[in-house]
Amino acid sequence: MNLIQDLRWRGLVAQSTDEKALAEAVKKPITLYIGFDPTAPSLHVGNLVVLLVLRRFQLAGHNPIALVGGATGLVGDPSGRNDERTLNSNDVIEGWVKGIRIQLSAFLDFETRVNPALIVNNLDWTSPLSVIEFLRDIGKHFSVNQMLAKDSVAARLESGGISYTEFSYQVLQSYDYLELFRRNSCTLQIGGSDQWGNIVAGLDLIRRVESGNAHALTVPLLTKSDGSKFGKTAGGNIWLDPTMTSPYAFFQFWLNSEDKDVINFLKVFSFKSQEQISELEKSHAQNPGLRQAHRELAREVTTLVHGADAAVRVESAAQALFGQGDLTALDEPTLASALAELPRTTISKNQEIPSWVDLLAATGVVESKSAARRVVRDGGAYLNNERVTSPDYAPSKSEFLCGKYAVLRKGKRDLAAVEII
């Protein structure tokens, strides 16, 4: 099975200008690119969908370019919204560009001698242009009628209008493709399916200016089985930056995937072979309670984003929290990030420590102290994985992990945290 067939099996092909011609072209090494605009300090898991497609192409012997939109990030992409983006300052965008460049370098190989990856910034070729040059040399090739017909633009016009700034975005993106075609012989642009109109406009610009031929490939916008947007939780986006989403929370995001989604997520985000994923699918169908597919997914993606050591630490933390490991073996940063996701209560370091019943009730895991007493009476009360047998039991400060944390557990699954401050 060739690369394009594998992408289609994984559900990673939405549109292509000529899939048969593209499948023929990738029999030899080609140069391709994907653009990432700096709209936040970090990439998020939604960006991983196309970023890992770029990685798949490199692993197959092709030459990947990751474009960071220092110029387009200053303008704003109109797709998928009903209002204008907030325009950030040059300094803010520049800082975000630097951070995203560092993140991209974790997924692509820049050291290989055969097909090293390249990171570029479209501000490098856009900023030297004058407005007159841009209008004369590039703008004259665009039909306003065709630009108005683009889905993203048409949607904005219907919802109240669009500024010339965002209207010009597709011209800038098209110019990126033209420049990479000229500079790097780049003949394939990949993006989300909402970028189809912009990518095709770039193909048309290459044909008009250079009489050249190139390809377009878009990836479906990923949704969950219930139709909701992928990568969103009650707390917001799942970021790749560990200071914005902790490695523990990142691991748990994948581990908590719905049963209906996990195999699809393995296809999209895992580099396991089709045979390996098929085996996991069989195992999942036979015994979903084992959650083998979920664990494999969480391990692989967390390792890819945060490294093998972090993946081991957070999985150990997850197991220890539920009584399957040693809580005292966890380092403080890992423990703190794990407990940050739990219902919690705090006590002062000078305060007498309340009873386990009082602490659990204070976290909100149970509705009352009497309910907490019933948990103790029924044998489902734990402190740091040790069973609590008396409703009057109050932990000593020496029992607090790292001198400041305690883990309360009700039954097998309901956790809460106590922190001494």
Which helix (H) or strand (E) segment holds residue 284: the answer is: helix 274-286
CA angle 341, 345, 403 (to 5 degrees): 85
Give residue 79's pLDDT: 64
Q: Which amino acid is at 246?
A: S
> Residue 191: which residues within 8 A CB-CB, separation 6 or more?
34, 35, 50, 198, 199, 218, 219
Residues of the chain with CATH 3.40.50.620: 3-219
Mapped onto helix, strand or coil, the DSSP state of residue 401 is strand
Neighbours of 336 (CB within 10 A): 18
CA angle 175, 179, 184 (to 5 degrees): 150
Residues of the chain with CATH 1.10.240.10: 223-338
Mapped onto helix, strand or coil, the DSSP state of residue 248 is helix
Give residue 228's pLDDT: 81
Give residue 302's pLDDT: 97
pTM for this structure? 0.88
Which structure tokens are listed for 344? 């919690």
Q: Residue 325's Cα: distance from chain center in Å? A: 29
Cβ atoms of 7 and 212 within 8 Å: the answer is no
Rounded distance between C-alpha atoms, residue 72 and residue 216, angstroms: 19
Q: Which segments of the chain have a pLDDT < 70?
A: 1, 79-83, 234-235
Across 223-243, b (16+ Cβ under 10 Å) vs e yields ebeeeeebbeeeeebbbbbbe
- Kindly calculate the radius of gyration of the chain based on its CA atoms and give it in whole angstroms: 26
Cβ atoms of 224 and 69 within 8 Å: the answer is no
> CATH number of the domain at 3-219, please?
3.40.50.620
Does domain 223-338 bear CATH number 3.40.47.10? no
Cβ atoms of 41 and 95 within 8 Å: the answer is yes
Which helix (H) or strand (E) segment holds residue 120: the answer is: strand 118-121
Q: How far is CA 37 from CA 68, 322, 385, in A?
A: 6, 40, 45
* CATH of 342-421 given 3.40.1160.10, 3.10.270.10, 3.10.290.10, 3.40.50.300: 3.10.290.10
- DSSP tag of 108: S
Which structure tokens are listed for 99? 């951070």
Rounded distance between C-alpha atoms, residue 405 and residue 419, angstroms: 5
Going by their DSSP bridges, the two strands 405-410 and 414-420 should be labelled as: antiparallel
